[in-house]
Amino acid sequence: WKIYKKYHHKNYTTAGEEKERLGKFIDNLKLIIQANTNFEKGLKSFNLQLNQYGDMNLEEFRAKLTGLNSDAQEENAPAEVHARARRFLMDSIAKKIDKEIRKKINKTLSGKKKRPGGSGSYSSGGSYSSGGSYSSGELFPSGGSYSRNTLRKLSTTRATSRLSKGAVDYRQYMQPIENQGRCGSCYAFAVTSAIEGTFKFKKNEDIKLSKQQLVDCSPSSGCSGGTLGQTFNYIKERGG
C-alpha cells in the first residue's frame, strides 16, 4: 500500500478517506491476483496490473472516466450512421472467416428446431435470441456470440494455437492501448481505434488519428462524453 501510494503520488486528506481507499485497493488487488492466477493456468487470455485507478471502485471509475453516450440521444443523426458505427469494423473482419466454417455454422443453425411457443429459442446445444445472435458450444468450445448476417467470432486468446477454428484474432491490426487521462473521451479513442484498425486491415498501413481533434471539434461534449454515431458522422462529413 505504501509502495502504491508513493509510486502513483497518492495523498489523502483524512485518515477516513485513506481507510476507504485502502479497502477499495485491497478489493482490486484480490481481483488482480485471481485474474492472473487464471491467466497462468491458461483460463484467461489476459493478465492485470495495478494502475493509478487501483484505489477506486468500478462505479467511481465509470462516473469519472467513461464518456460514451447512447446513440439514441442523437436526435438529429441519421439512423444509417448509427448502424454503420456498429458494423464499421465487424463487416470487414467477417470476410476473413473461412467459407467452409460459415457453411458449417449455417447448416448447424438451420438444422435447429424451434421450441414450442414461438419464443425464438432453439435447442440442441445452441440458443437464439430475438436480436439474431447465437451461441453454440458444439462449434466453438470457448463460446461467443454470432450474428446471423456476419457469422463472426472475435476472440483474444493467450496463444494463436488456442484460437477456435474460424475465429479471428485482430490484435495484429490494432494500436497499443492508450490512457485517456482524466477526460471522458472514450468515444474519441473508440472511433479512432476502429478506423486505425480497419485501415491496417485493408491497406496494411499504420496510421495515427487525433483524438484531441474529435474532443475539441466534433459535435460532442468534449471531456463530458460523446457518441459513436455522431463522431463517425463528423469524420465522414469531412471526407474521412
pLDDT at 189 over 70: yes
Using CB atoms within 10 Å of the CB of residue 215, give its burial: 0 to 12 exposed, 13 to 18 middle, 19+ buried.
Answer: buried
230 with 218: CB under 8 angstroms? Answer: yes
Match 488456442 to its residue by C-alpha cell.
162
> Which residues, in sequence order, are CB contacts of 205 under 8 Å at separation 6+?
199
The residue ranges of DSSP E strands in the chain, in sequence order, are 126-128, 133-136, 146-147
Q: Domains, the chain, ranges and CATH?
A: 2-65 (1.10.287.2250), 67-89+170-240 (3.90.70.10), 98-169 (no CATH)
Closest by CA position to 237, among listed 214, 209, 207, 204: 214
What's the rounded mean pLDDT across residues 151-161?
39
Q: How far is CA 157 from CA 166, 170, 187, 215, 239, in A?
A: 14, 11, 25, 32, 36
The one-character DSSP state at 177 is P
For 136, list phi and psi in degrees, rounded to 5. -140, 100
Higher pLDDT, 76 or 22: 22
Map residue 226 onto helix, strand or coil: strand
Does 80 or 181 have the greater pLDDT score? 181
Round to whole Å and give the CA distance between 150 and 74.
26
pLDDT of residue 220: 87
Distance CA 182, CA 200 (A): 29
- Global pTM value: 0.49
C-alpha cell recorded at residue 235 = 469524420
pLDDT for the residue numbered 240: 77
pLDDT of 156 higher than 80: no
What are 71-103's pLDDT values in tens digits?
A: 544 545 455 544 554 454 445 444 544 454 455
Among 63-77, 148-162, 181-195, 197-211, the range scoring the smallest mean pLDDT is 148-162
Is residue 232 within 8 A of residue 88, CB to CB? The reply is yes
d(CA 207, CA 93): 18
Q: What band does 125 get if pLDDT is binned at 50, 70 and 90?
A: very low
Q: Which pLDDT score is estimated for 224?
A: 85
